Amino acid sequence: MTSPLDPLDARLIAALRARPRAGVAELARELQVARGTVQSRLAKLEARGVITGFGPEIGLRAAGYPVLAFVSLEIVQGRLPEAIAWLREVPEVLEAHGTSGPRDLLLRVVAQDTDALQEVLNRILATPAVRRSTSSIALSELIPYRTAPLVAVAGDRAGS
């Protein structure tokens, strides 16, 4: 299987992660390529869905949401679209992933404190589309969400 990223793509992504506000000309100088090359690569990476945004990353704890929980949901058969529509209306639901196994969805949920988490869970369970839930509160973040190691490996593989 070939990597969708080549070494220049990997270097460009690493440069953007290090300095998200860097301009195209600055990136071109740093990477020692033409400005048009950087613009073209960025456009292609966006079109392929490799780069999905340039917005700021939010520190949830600093923004007032220090409680993180993972919630597994069992959905009533045939009611997944209803459950997803319901969950989209709960701002504290950051992500929802369909899963295999005994549960249907895995959610990443934040709250201001454990009382607020209980309220969020009650809202999630207020739809008849959800049959059962299981929650785990994260006590600490040992490896934060990251993509840089994957990008580096993909760039190295393409270059060899």
* pTM given for the model: 0.83
Residues 36-43 have a mean pLDDT of 95
Q: What domains does the chain contain, in order, with CATH numbers?
A: 7-56 (1.10.10.10), 67-137 (3.30.70.920)
For residue 17, give both structure tokens.
């992660």
Mapping DSSP to helix (H, G, I), strand (E, B) and coil, where does residue 129 land? coil
Mapping DSSP to helix (H, G, I), strand (E, B) and coil, where does residue 97 land? strand
Instruction: Determine the residue type at 47.
Output: A
**Rounded alpha-carbon distances, angstroms, from residue 20 to 17, 53, 120, 152, 154:** 6, 10, 33, 17, 21
The confidence band for 53, taking pLDDT boundaries of 50, 70 and 90, is confident
